[in-house]
Amino acid sequence: MILRHDNAEKSRRCRPWQRTMAGVALTGMLAGFCPASAGAELSSAQAEQSSLQVEKSSAQVEQSNLQAVAPFPAASGWAATANGAEANATLQPSTEEPSPEVEARIEHTIDLLRTEYPEFRSLYLQKKSRGDEIQMLENDRQVKRACWFVTFDERKPEEMRSDNRTESLHLQFDENGALQSYRWQNVNWAGDTMPDKATALHKGADFLQKLLGADFALYGPGKVNGTGSGCEVREGKVYTWVNRNVQFDRLVNGIPLVNGDDLWNVQVDGGGRVVGVSHFTNENTFDLTFDPARFPDPAKALSLEQAKKALMEQCRLAPAYVSREFLQDFPNGVQLVPGQGPPRLVYRPDRLFLFMDAITGKLLVEMAAMESGRPAHTVIHVTGEGKALFAKNTDEGRKVIEKELGVDLSGMPLFPVGSEPVNQGIGPYIRRMEWDTSMPHGDAPANTQPTPGGLRNAAIQTASDTGRVLGFSVKRNGHNASKEEASKHTPVISRDEAKKKAVAFLQQYLPARDLEVKVIQVWQGTPRYPDWVDVTKLPKNIVMSSSEAFRFIPLHQGIPVEGYNWSVSVDRETGKVSAFHYEPVDFDALPDPSRIISPETAEAAFMNNLDLKLVYTWSQYFDQRAPQPSLMYQYDFLHPGLIDAQTGSVISMESGE
């Protein structure tokens, strides 16, 4: 029985600074600078899991972190494709054998595994089948691709499969024998040791070079920030695997193309073993040609010093309080409850951005710039009521959701979200309990004919040590975005009324003291489309949500307190709260802001450590693509990270030090 595999849970447990940057990703998607998924669920309720987070599928997390979730579920065990299209792998019994050329390519990969890992020699071939991978694209388009599926495990051919055993190794190849994905869950490799980034990069590059040969030169290392985990029960024993993900982007003119049009993701475990590989391409949506002549000339880019100067002319450093957990990597993907250690007072950029035009020096700025002109935020004064809820098990969690949100979860099956962390002693972490009807699990099949507006998911998050409730949410089935369908679902409350309801709901749980809070309305009005988008060709089957999401940032002596998730979503069709998150802040533990360095001193330290990377982007919006790619400077928000407001030292957001 598989409890949870790979990064499915990771999509809900992004590091706090990743949650913040996810809002920038959505901004870029609206602006057309970042790739957008087909059939995306463009929902204000997406903020219920994070500050301004775009909900991502497990494959898309590792693809680019710039994707919204597609409404088509991927078949279990097969790789989902990039750029919003989901894959259903349909195996058709066939006695067809690959051609000698295809067989040679497949055997090249198998020989590599056999050479690299002696453990492979104890495995037996279980299946080599030709099947079809059907990709559901926008506008109900389908793309069918023939693939080869190969599986190995430790059973001898004459042995029967037991119910609690899964294949140890999966390989998927395209019809020409090129590897598309590989995953190996070896019980002897189970453990909770995460490799450091240098080891993961070295081992990943070495393996990929042996796999691709001369074609390895077409790719360059990208992000090494993602982590993954899997959990499985075999014969009553729980096995857990963890890995670090290394991304290799396609190079053009020696510069990485970061759209996810052509990239490899390599997963390395704590023993330095490559336990997974995925190749994502955008070939079913766009004609993939990487002619350097189509890309802007790098010689026209601003110099690094000119780019830094342009950046600092458009943003300033501002003070903020941050929790220690905001800065640190979660151990083995476990999200720690913020506020366990003393908060820090830092300087950080006052504008969120990912890219700057490398030729003009213009920033792609935060979401507020892309909206319809309404104020991005307001500041309110409230007095909290000090209410606290607790749920130490699923029964108590269900009752909390039903009472606080006024819903009935009867008949909704509990969804397994993984086991408890193997490595104890890490401190209080956020435990998640979830109920779901949209995905098959255990004896419960997926609801293939959901009722529009009906409940499809419910979740609650609690602190592992005390059971204190930190958030809960319900999700309803969306409605088709057609005008005819939309006309049937009229909001019963206005946006302003939704805001008042969100404030009143949060106020119950705030500490019993007077507070100053910044309120950000996450989704406001219709996004501005890039000028190259033909709005008449946008998908007609976008799943729309009726929720209005609000994010709350507490202020202490006028300085924002960040790294804590305070958010409320209100369903305007029902007039009820649909999601709530509140992580307590110890305001008395916040550092004294009276003795901090000047903004000028902080900016000098920031500039000295600023890292800008030259990249190409090729903007797309669903199935439409910009006429030409763009040359950008990408801001690496891990370096320099933040500046300690009291000492002026650089705080790396990779380690928190």
> Residue 271: CB partners within 8 Å, gap ≥ 6?
189, 191, 193, 195
The answer to whether the beta carbons of residues 634 and 612 sit under 8 Å apart is yes
pLDDT tens-digit map of 82-123: 233 334 444 444 557 889 999 999 999 999 999 999 999 888
Taking the alpha carbons at both ends of the chain, their separation in whole angstroms is: 40
Tell me how far CA of residue 415 lies from CA of 228, 306, 487, in angstroms.
Answer: 19, 52, 34
pLDDT for 455: 86
Residues of the chain with pLDDT under 70: 1-95, 135-142, 159-167, 283-288, 329-333, 365-376, 417-425, 438-453, 478-489, 523-528, 540-545, 637-641, 653-657
Please choose, from the candidates 337, 348, 324, the residue with its C-alpha nearest in 3D space to the C-alpha of residue 657: 324
Phi, psi of 553 (to 5 degrees): -120, 115
Position 402, amino acid: E
* DSSP characters over 521-544: ES--SPPPPPTT--GGGS-S--EE
Q: d(Cα 628, Cα 49) in Å, to the nearest integer?
A: 34
Q: What is the pLDDT of residue 367?
A: 39
Contact indicator for 264, 216 with CB cutoff of 8 Å = no
Report long-range pairs for 214-219 (Cβ below 8 Å, ≥24 apart). Answer: 217/251, 218/250, 218/251, 219/248, 219/249, 219/250, 219/251, 219/263, 219/264
Strands (E), 92-176: 124-136, 142-153, 169-174
Q: Which residues have C-beta within 8 Å of that of residue 6, sequence separation ≥ 6? A: 58, 183, 228, 229, 230, 276
Residues 6+ apart with CB under 8 A from 313: none
Q: How many CB atoms lie within 10 A of CB 620?
A: 28
**Euclidean distance between CA atoms 434 and 491, whole angstroms:** 27
Task: Mark out the alpha helices in 317-393 (DSSP H runs).
Answer: 324-327
Burial of 351 (0-12, 13-18, 19+ CB in 10 A): middle
Q: Which two tokens stand for residue 294?
A: 């189509």
Are 371 and 522 in contact by the 8 Å Cβ rule? The answer is: no
Task: From 75, 73, 59, 43, select the one nearest 11 (Cα to Cα).
Answer: 59
Count of Cβ atoms closer than 10 Å to residue 52 Cβ: 24
Length of the chain: 657
DSSP one-letter code for 441:
B
Residue 57 and residue 103 in contact, taking contact as beta carbons nearer than 8 Å: no
Give the predicted TM-score (pTM) of the model: 0.76
Pick the closest to residue 585 from 485, 500, 506 (CA basis). 506
Question: What region, left, alpha or beta, does residue 253 occupy, with left being phi > 0 and alpha being psi -120 to 50 degrees?
Answer: left
3-class DSSP assignment, residue 246 = strand
Structure tokens at 428: 């209080």
**Residue 449 to residues 6, 38, 439, 456, Cα–Cα distance (Å):** 27, 21, 12, 11
